[in-house]
Structure 1
Amino acid sequence: MDTNTLNVGEALMQLTGRVAVVGSMNADYTVRVPRFLLPGETLEGGALEILPGGKSSNQAAAAAKLGAQVTLFGALGQDSNADFLSGKLEEAGVDTSSIARVDGPSGTTVITVSEADGENTIVYSAGSNRAVTAEYVRSHAAELTSASVLGLCLESPLEAVIEAARLAHEAGMPVLLNNSPFMADLPSELVENVDILLANEHEVAQMIGMDDSAVDWANADWDALRVKLAELGFSRVIITLGALGSCVIDGESVERVDGVRISPVDTTGCGDSYMGTVLAGLASGFSLTDSARIAAYVGAYAACGFGAQASYGTATEIREAFSL
């Protein structure tokens, strides 16, 4: 399905592959503010909303709403947020049967969203996400490796992320790592088991030791970046560039994918919807570049709504929104 003339509208209706995601689930306590706070300042915000979130949960929900068969592996607590989060995942079509229930609170985030430009600040409290251990991952090895692709981020304990990557890689499954929350020096045992890296331009600059402020990302030396990332162990990479779109590195190939012009309302969870779409695309037989092309529209759609999972669309909704 690798073609330079991809029909994104048709592709959206073909995202039916099997995806596994290992990681985090959070209740997002979200408030809209006129602008971001200064130190020591108090501002009056809008109504508090409790929305489903967590990077891995978002990624799983995004892929499932598009039509992929998604199983999420993780842990929830014994609080009311646990039932809320699992219920929202099931509504999105995610298989939650492997999610553990542990003592204590579920994961939470406190998010402020600027009304001026839709940007956000996020404070993360891990809660039950700390219970996603290497032992838990091993106990679900058979279910995990029955999928076509594995998605990982870094909101779970690193030992569990490494173990999940190892199991999937040894089983011949492509492993896609979203380097977020950002870690500048990824451990070698993780890098050697990751097939594809997803990171934004600022994260990539830090990984390869570049001065981010000195780079013109609209006209970057992508081939030089490809070489530097390969030296770090990553030969397949998607570099997201915000409104500029993305750059897809696939071995010796380097290709730019245009962004989709929108007026953002709230960027919370947009990167996760992008990641979930890439997972769905790869699981459904699309190339890395074509998966990024599809993801550009899905991420743009999410930025036009409020919240993370609450803003995600189905394949039909996204086709209609952009007349695809």
Structure 2
Amino acid sequence: MKILLCSLTLGFAVSVLSGCATSAGQNESDAAVSPPQLQPGTYSTPDGDRVWVLHPNHVYEHGTGLSGDQPQVTRGLWQFVPGTGQVVLVDDGNRHSELSLTRGNTLMLSGRGDAVALEYDDDTDPIEQDRPMDVCFMTMADAPLAYDSRIRRHLPVVMEEAYPALEAFYRETGKQPPESAAVRVQGHWVMDDAPDGGDDTLHLKVASVEGAAAGLASRCPGTALPGTYWSATRLGEMTVAPEQGQRELELQLNREGKASGFAGCNRFNGDYNRRGDHLALGPLASTRMMCPARSEIEAEYFKALDETRRFAIEGDRLYLMDDEGHTLVTFKAREIN
């Protein structure tokens, strides 16, 4: 007699009967259980004291004490780790993993005491609570933008409420587009039409302007994406530095939508497509030289370029990222001798 054992993977609601009533001759693939899937939406504790809004673009808001006298709202990027059920919240480089996905796609809050099941709503409306936000602001005709280094994204700015004060602050700094000014505002996010006519996207709505944002200027975009020689300094979590006599990993983008560079052994070229903060590279063609000592790092570099979906520039640094905000490659702008 052949005995079949049934196990339930995290995050998939399946009855014992349907999961175990599998005939001995059934293919293993038919009995496979789908992995957990984290859905964007609003998750809150039963008492409503803590709220997480996981936006579809992998940006999150976390509100605490929203009904009290001292509400607080933080923001960052959320990343789901397949196979573990962990939800990692990245807040200005700090990583938190107090949320986890369990059986039935229920998001749990762990930490002190017993885990708490969070209530789910598929609504992803932003939290309408003004909070201090340090941003890099740039006015451009009818398309003002604010770069938020906590989420490494540019957000369109709603031209209402305290927007005239924000524009006046920018003029007083003496900046000119495409330069941006570091400023602290009180405001919150809203959903509105994308400036390029695409789907609704997050916008910044400013309630008041508090003044210059101390320490932020060095993280404001300071270099243009096209027309710059970019030299890789990190590949994922690994520092990349060429040995003596070797060339750096390079990337150059021109204003006609063409990409080129050096991957450690071979040169490459191809197309790129940019829309706002979105960036896709390829298809890329490369030369066919053999360099066994650098083949592994070259393969990782090409893989990172292929997976790139977003970019951000802070000062003279360029970050290529995937959809979830994982940094794939970090570059530094170099002068061309």
TM-score bin (small chain): under 0.3
TM-score, normalised relative to structure 2 = 0.25
Give the structure with the larger strand fraction.
2
Give the structure with the larger helix fraction.
1
Q: Which of the two has higher C-alpha Rg? A: 2
TM-score, normalised relative to structure 1 = 0.26
